[in-house]
Amino acid sequence: MKKIPIGPGWFQASAIALGCMRISTLSDREAEQLIRTALDEGIDFFDHADIYGGGRSEEVFARAAGLSADTREQVKIQTKCGIRKGYFDFSRDHILASVDGSLKRLKTDYIDVLLLHRPDTLVEPEEVAEAFSTLHRTGKVRFFGVSNQNPNQIELLRQAVVQPLGVNQLQLSLAFSGMIDAGLNVNMQNSASVNHDNGILDYCRLHRITIQPWSPLQYGFFSGVFLGSDKYAELNRTIAGLATQYEVPEAAIAIAWLLRHPAGMQPIVGTTHAGRLKDICQAARVTLTRPEWYSLYRAAGNTLP
């Protein structure tokens, strides 16, 4: 597995990360097999959130990974906070309490990266700054970022937060490519030109913020997987052709499309099947050509201006 830089030069980590949202549904034995497969394939970055499985996903991971003081430094653990039942909460007290809960469930002394989950419109940047400084000073969190936030929301935080915000986790896939569509359809009046995210892709590149695409094999908002879907027949034919050419599974081509982007993205893959994870990891050895990248983009139903 190749390594890529995360954030503004924080550290190097695997180009593909394992998302642990669904591992609460696994037995300890199944979870151990999944995590062992990830490590064997070179994945050293694991993504969590305090709400995944009601906290149980972090607990299952801790038991399955069995990290000791000697092996903890070999992996990077990321978790998120801010989503509560019926509302969002970026208050100082909630951030601090959430991290303490995650540390306990993960059985670790520190979190490598903490992300603020979905935007809280009642956010007070000074409270976030106070929480982040406390967490950083006490060694509980090393680095910080956000999830699902646009440039102005990040700038609002940056006016108060001292630590760099070096990660933004955003939904992105071949079949969910709005942030790419808007950048290609500049000064147009078609639907693809609608800029929903205020240029988030270029903003992250300019500020050395690593984009972590979530649901990289999904279309819509948790609508389903586009691989094998009749809704994306042309895309699947194009993927199949490239998979044959590169001698990799089809899932690897879909992830390779994200890895090919010069933004240096780190896809978060959420499979709970060890075999599927092995297939996906083969994406790291595929470098699509520019014509191939655009052929996949067009096959997904996009028209170039």
Please identify which residue in the block is written with the tokens 């790291």: 284
Give the chain's count of helices (H) and strands (E). Answer: 11, 14
Show the domains of the chain with their CATH numbers: 3-232+265-277 (3.20.20.100)
Catalytic position from the list 52, 203, 219, 232: 52
Burial 143-160 (b: 16+ CB within 10 A, else e): bbbbbbbbbebbebbeeb
Taking the C-alpha atoms of residue 195 and residue 210, their distance in angstroms, rounded to an integer, is 20
Residue 5, class by beta-carbon neighbours within 10 Å (0-12 exposed, 13-18 middle, 19+ buried)?
Answer: middle
pLDDT of residue 46: 98
Q: What share of the chain is helix, strand, coil (3-state, %, to 5)?
A: 45, 20, 35
CA distance 263 to 246: 23
The closest alpha carbon to 113, from 31, 169, 55, 173, belongs to: 169
Q: Is 52 a catalytic residue?
A: yes
Residue 236, pLDDT score: 98
* DSSP per-residue codes, 163-198: S-EEEEEEE-BTTB-HHHHHHHSTT--SGGG--SSS
φ, ψ of residue 3 to 5 degrees: the values are: -105, 150
Q: What is the maximal distance between C-alpha atoms in the chain?
A: 57
Q: What is the pLDDT of residue 270?
A: 96
Average pLDDT for 292-303:
98
Q: For the segment 218-271, what is each residue's pLDDT rounded down to a tens digit?
A: 998 878 999 999 999 999 999 999 999 999 999 999 999 999 999 999 999 999
Closest CA to 28 of 66, 75, 72: 66
Average pLDDT estimate for 188-215: 96
Strands 3-6 and 11-14: antiparallel
**Average per-residue pLDDT in the chain?**
97
Nearest CA among 304, 148, 301 for reference residue 226: 301
Q: What global pTM score does this model have?
A: 0.96
Identify the residue whose tokens are 């989503």. Answer: 83
Q: Which helix (H) or strand (E) holds 49?
A: none
Beta-sheet pairing, 45-47 with 87-88 = unpaired
The predicted pLDDT at position 69 comes to 83
* pLDDT tens, position by position, 28-84: 999 999 999 999 999 999 999 999 999 999 999 999 999 888 889 999 999 999 999
198 pLDDT above the threshold of 90: yes
Cβ neighbours around 275 below 10 Å, total: 10
